[in-house]
Structure 1
Amino acid sequence: MDLLRELTETNAAPGFEKPIRKIMERELKQTGANLVYDHLGSVFGEKQGSGDGPKILLAGHMDEVAFMVSEITKNGYLRFVSLGGWWDQVLLSQRVKVLAGQKEYTGVVGSKPPHILQPEERKKVYPMREMFIDVGAKDEEQVREWGIKVGDPIMPICPFELLPDGDTILAKALDNRVGCYIALEVMKEIKGTTHSSTVYSGATVQEEVGLRGAATAPYVMEPELAVAMDVGIAQDGPGDNTNKPKLGKGALITFLDSSMVPHTGLRNFMIDVAEKNQIPYQVDVMLGGGTDAGRFHLFKRGVPSIVVGVPARYIHSHVSMVSKKDLDHAVKLLAAFIKAMDRQAYNQILDI
């Protein structure tokens, strides 16, 4: 888990992905892959196949939900805006880290205390626009002396921890360092194995602010198949959640989200691979979000695409949880998928 710990504890807001990209480059080089990039910062390792199989794109995304300094007040507080989707209710009193060049400053998300709120205000979710970040500065001049500027990224704080069951991982940024981790582990899994297809495995930038790297990266590789590796929503909290995604019950295959209906031929092939190899999997149907596959499948004449990942709890907050077993199953599923894919299988998927 050292690699996943490093990935989650490294900060990378949308548009500020360089620290994660360095880790991806280091790990991909160790697999012997050739590195390819787009001009926004997405990075992939290329592994040539031994046959004429299709070009397969496997992509996580490097960015995580974060914030940006939008204003420095006269009395030394920071106003901020979101980078990615946040629910206002999860923010108050959380610790954050302001990244000011080579320096980092810890702050806390603050607001008016409840003692002076009007009764009607207490019943509402406090809006983000009225929150601020307190870094302990005395005034605006001190903030500027410290080097904090408008435009600096602000990151959640949550150390990586493997919980006592030995399986549940608690960390920030599992959306989507999980995808980065799977991309790297699949490349290690197929190293030294025979596969017909050329594989591009890595991660895009700026997914959380509009699937932007997913719009540019395919032009580098011209993929014929695409898999976005991302987290889905675990629905295993209190209450009746029969047949809903749960931690520890297998990899997650998305059948529907707000950005894409997965290619049914590819979906059925992936399920067949899972069942033939006895790899546990779960099905996700969710209209509340999308992934990079929402852009991949629209590239040029269309790219059959699907989302494979793991269920996660509490994403788009300071902390989230996933299962180590689910990660292992997702890696095994995608490695088996690559080994099973060739030109004949691809043509059958397309129904040619």
Structure 2
Amino acid sequence: MSDKSREYEEVDITLLKELSEADGISGAEKEVSRVAKNYFEMYADEIDYDNLGSIIGLKRGNKNGPKVMIAGHMDEIGFVVRSIDKNGYINLLPVGGWWGHVMPSQSMRITTNSGSKIKGVVGSRAPHGMPADEKERVIKPIDFYLDLGVDSKDEVEKLGIKIGDMITPDTEFEIMNNPNYLLGKAWDDRIGVAVAIDVLKELKDINHEANIFSVGTVQEEVGIRGARTATHKIKPDIAFAIDVTTAKDTPMDKGGLKLGCGVVVSILDASTIGNNALIREIENICNEAGLDINYDCMVAGGTDAGNIHKTLDGVISMTLSIPTRYMHSNRLIIHKKDYVQTVKVISEFCKRVDMNILEDLKNNIR
């Protein structure tokens, strides 16, 4: 089995840094899409988009070969400017699921229509003299504000800030003290986008029967929207959603999946049940390739597979997850091993899948 302690130097750190630091909440993913496009131009035979903005990189196989879709969503949770008060404070409107405890005193940045980045800090209160019940109360995300360090609304407007502008965490990518641990914002789900890109890189000089569609989807955090439109455009036979799952290896989250555990197969979540025969194929590849395999079941939440599997007349699909600490916050941590092994298992599947394997998968549910 692969060693968690070895340094996974094959990881493209520049790719991960660029994807993590790009700003792109649901409905405003273009900055992320441009990063993905730069890499697709190196590894894909064709680049296309759906009409919501999901980007699709195709590496062709046999014209009549099966279509395989690999989807990671580009959008991150964030905010938009809800209003600007007379003193220049920005009232926030959450886009995606935030927990109030992770927000006070965090640095955020506004992206204006012209592309300027304006930094601010989320307001908080000093605990001195605060009543006990107020200290224990979780403030609703919509009740927070952003302090830009200005005197008035007029100053804010002169910065080019308007209602509806995107607000994202102001977080730099970092390699941590153990170089296998990577910190950044938006691993949910830029790491999935990176997997989709790196699979095409792994297949660059490989002949294969399948037509491989790597997709950066949009608007997953607000209803798994881009996955539906991208699936209609591609009409895949088989699909993998790549997303994150909660790592439970901290003093606050104990037991279950750990960073550095390897491949994580999602059996089910609140939006989908993984195709049993496809799961068995992935298990076989893991065993043959010496990859570690783990299982995840979530009673809440979902991934792009939630809409992919029920689009058209149904798509054979499943989710592969990457454990992540501190999901839906300003700073998340992942492990290189989990990323490398996920790329490996999907790449191996893409190399071997053909019409016979597709028919076997279909026959399993007939």
Structure 2: distance between partners of 1:47 and 1:104: 35
Q: Which residue of 2 aligns with 1:86?
A: 98
Query: Structure 1's 112 and 162: CA in aligned 2 closer, same or farther, altered over 3 A?
Result: closer
- Asked whether 1:330 is paired with 2:332, we answer no
Query: Structure 1's 249 and 119: CA in aligned 2 closer, same or farther, altered over 3 A?
Result: closer
Out of 196, 203, 221, the residue aligned to residue 190 of structure 1 is 203
Q: Which residue of 1 aligns with 2:275?
A: 263
Q: CA deviation at 1:113?
A: 3.5
Q: Which residue of 2 aligns with 1:135?
A: 148
Report matched runs for 1:1-352 at 5 Å: 1-50=13-62, 52-101=64-113, 102-115=115-128, 117-238=130-251, 241-242=254-255, 244-351=256-363
Amino acid of the residue matched to residue 57 of structure 1? M
Structure 2: distance between partners of 1:349 and 1:79: 51
Contact 1:36 1:220 in 2 (8 A): no
Q: Report the count of equivalent residues.
A: 351
Which is worse superposed, 94-103 or 289-298? 94-103
Q: CA deviation at 1:258?
A: 1.0
Q: Which residue of 1 aligns with 2:6?
A: none
Amino acid of the residue matched to residue 68 of structure 1? V
SS in 1 for 2:128: helix
Query: Structure 1's 240 and 186: CA in aligned 2 closer, same or farther, altered over 3 A?
Result: closer
Amino acid of the residue matched to residue 23 of structure 2? N
Q: CA deviation at 1:204?
A: 0.5
Query: Structure 1's 239 and 133: CA in aligned 2 closer, same or farther, altered over 3 A?
Result: closer
Query: Structure 1's 273 and 108: CA in aligned 2 closer, same or farther, altered over 3 A?
Result: same
Amino acid of the residue matched to residue 192 of structure 1? D
Q: CA deviation at 1:240?
A: 8.9
Gaps of 5+ in 1: none
Query: Structure 1's 213 and 268: CA in aligned 2 closer, same or farther, altered over 3 A?
Result: same
Q: CA deviation at 1:89?
A: 0.9
Please list the CA deviations of residues 180-217 of structure 1 after superposition, one character each: whole Å capped at 9, or x if unmatched.
11011100101111211111012101111111101111
Amino acid of the residue matched to residue 112 of structure 2? A
SS in 1 for 2:323: strand
Contact 1:33 1:45 in 2 (8 A): yes
SS in 1 for 2:36: helix
Contact 2:99 2:140 in 1 (8 A): no
Query: Structure 1's 240 and 41: CA in aligned 2 closer, same or farther, altered over 3 A?
Result: closer
Structure 2: distance between partners of 1:180 and 1:239: 28
Which is worse superposed, 199-208 or 43-52? 43-52
Q: CA deviation at 1:241?
A: 4.6
SS in 2 for 1:115: coil
Q: CA deviation at 1:157?
A: 1.5
Structure 2: distance between partners of 1:239 and 1:308: 24
Structure 1: distance between partners of 2:226 and 2:276: 25
Q: CA deviation at 1:304?
A: 1.1
Structure 2: distance between partners of 1:182 and 1:89: 30
Please list the CA deviations of residues 163-193 of structure 1 after superposition, one character each: whole Å capped at 9, or x if unmatched.
1212011111111110111011100101111
Q: CA deviation at 1:278?
A: 1.5
SS in 2 for 1:114: coil
Gaps of 5+ in 2: 1-12
Structure 1: distance between partners of 2:254 and 2:92: 36
